[in-house]
């Protein structure tokens, strides 16, 4: 079975930076799209960023454009989310996900594999 494990979450002050990692095991995910989603307390899970199979194409939620950068290292079977200029509104559990298609997608229903999440808390 494919397993995705997030890491890098923690407590950071507003304006700070954090880098999340998502390590995949079970099989190589170099041929599929991947993405990041987040869920704040009392809210539904929301799209954050996605990347196509090669890393050449990316897309972001409007709320994080210009602040977050998604990337991947297919040789290491790992995806990253660099988060800069963090705001209290970014506080959430962040989940990585992998699809079974290679094309860029923002849809949760295209994601067949999910990690258990890592908590990011941004203080004022």
Tens digits of residue pLDDT in 25-79: 998 999 999 999 999 999 999 999 999 999 999 999 999 999 999 999 999 999 9
- Residue owning tokens 């963090």: 86
Q: How confident is the model at residue 1 (pLDDT cuts 50, 70, 90)?
A: confident
CA distance 86 to 56: 25
Pairing of strands 92-99, 118-123: antiparallel
What are 62's two structure tokens? 């409007």
Please, what sign has the CA dihedral across residues 118, 64, 21, 14?
negative
Q: What is the pLDDT of residues 46-58, one digit of tens each?
A: 999 999 999 999 9
């Amino acid at each position: 079975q494919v397993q995705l494990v997030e890491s890098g979450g923690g407590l950071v002050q507003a304006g700070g930076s954090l880098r999340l990692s998502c390590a995949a095991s079970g099989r190589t995910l170099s041929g599929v799209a991947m993405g990041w989603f987040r869920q704040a307390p009392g809210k539904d899970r929301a799209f954050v960023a996605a990347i196509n199979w090669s890393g050449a194409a990316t897309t972001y939620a409007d709320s994080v454009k210009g602040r977050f950068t998604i990337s991947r290292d297919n040789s290491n079977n790992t995806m990253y989310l660099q988060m800069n200029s963090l705001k209290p509104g970014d506080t959430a559990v962040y989940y990585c996900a992998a699809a079974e298609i290679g094309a860029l997608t923002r849809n949760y229903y295209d994601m067949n594999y999910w990690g258990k999440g890592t908590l990011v808390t941004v203080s004022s």
